[in-house]
Each structure stands twice: as structure tokens, then as C-alpha cells.
Amino acid sequence: MSNNILLAVDAASGDAARHVSAAAAMTGDLARGTGDQVIVLHIHEFATGRFGRIQVDCGEGEGEGVVESIVSDLRAAGASAEGEIREAHVGHIAAAILKAANEHDARIMVLGSSSRTDLPRFLLGSVASRLLHMATRPVLIVPRTDTPTQAAKTATAPAAVADGH
């Protein structure tokens, strides 16, 4: 496997964006510790029907903005990072993430968990759950933080445990 980490992000905003922040912080910590290249991936989700093709995941340019911001933050923190935008049909985000990970020969895929309960996932499933079941590569699912500053603390916690401190 290569020295690539694939960070899959969505364009959530406000409180919902905590899972993206936590996953980005954890990925930055992993990349700085290993020198890995981070590929920050957002996948636009499209529905096609009687009235044509419509983007349903976020507003125009929002995904690109999230990717640019995370790439900038990772680079400022000393990690090597690049952004990538792809497209998928509704319900096929996990397959698109897996395809990108295979194409980049990613050693690990990282994404944030956006929910605090099992109910929505039980009824509707989730990208993280589908990815876990489809993956042939390691997947790291980072829990959302209670506060925005907790993301940085969460990112350094595994290193302390691994060092025995």
C-alpha cells in the first residue's frame, strides 16, 4: 500500500460539521506522524429523473469550499494534502469513496460519524456503515466532538495511549 490517507468529507455546516472537523483533526495527526499524503475527498450526490439531473448533497460550491478549507488547514499544520471532488448517483457515496481509495491506493479511509444515536442509521443506513461493510481497506470512523476545540484533543489522544502515557 502507498502512503496515502483518504479523508472523505461532506458539506455539513454549523453543529453538524463537528464530525468533519474531528475527522480532519485526526487525519492531520495521522499524516504528520507518518508523512502520508492526505487526499481530501468530497463526493457530490446527484439524482436523475423526469426533470433532469439535480445535485442533492449540498449547495453549489459548498463541497469545494469544505475541501479547500481542510486542505489549507492541513497544509498549514505541516501535512501534505490535496483536494478532490467526484460525483455519484444518490445512494452510491460509499462505493464512490471506496473507488477513490482503491485508485489512490489509500492505506486507510477516514470519515466522521455525524450521528449520536443509532435510530437514523438503523432505519436509513449511513455512508459510514455501508463503507465498513464494503471496504477491503482499513476504515477509521472518528466520532463527532461535543465542542469544536475537542477535535484537537481527540486527535492527540490515541498517540498518548499508544505511547503508554
Helix, strand or coil, per DSSP, at residue 38: strand
Among left, alpha and beta (phi > 0; psi -120 to 50; other), residue 41 is: beta
Residue extents of the structural domains in the chain? 8-160
Residue type, 160: A
Question: pTM value?
Answer: 0.79
CATH of domain 8-160: 3.40.50.620
Element housing 52 (H / E): strand 52-55
Q: Which long-range contacts (CB under 8 A, 24 or more apart) does 115-124 make?
A: 116/144
Confidence at residue 152, expressed as pLDDT on a 0 to 100 scale: 46
Mean pLDDT by 10 residues, the chain (165 residues): 87 68 91 91 90 83 90 94 94 93 95 64 65 90 67 43 38
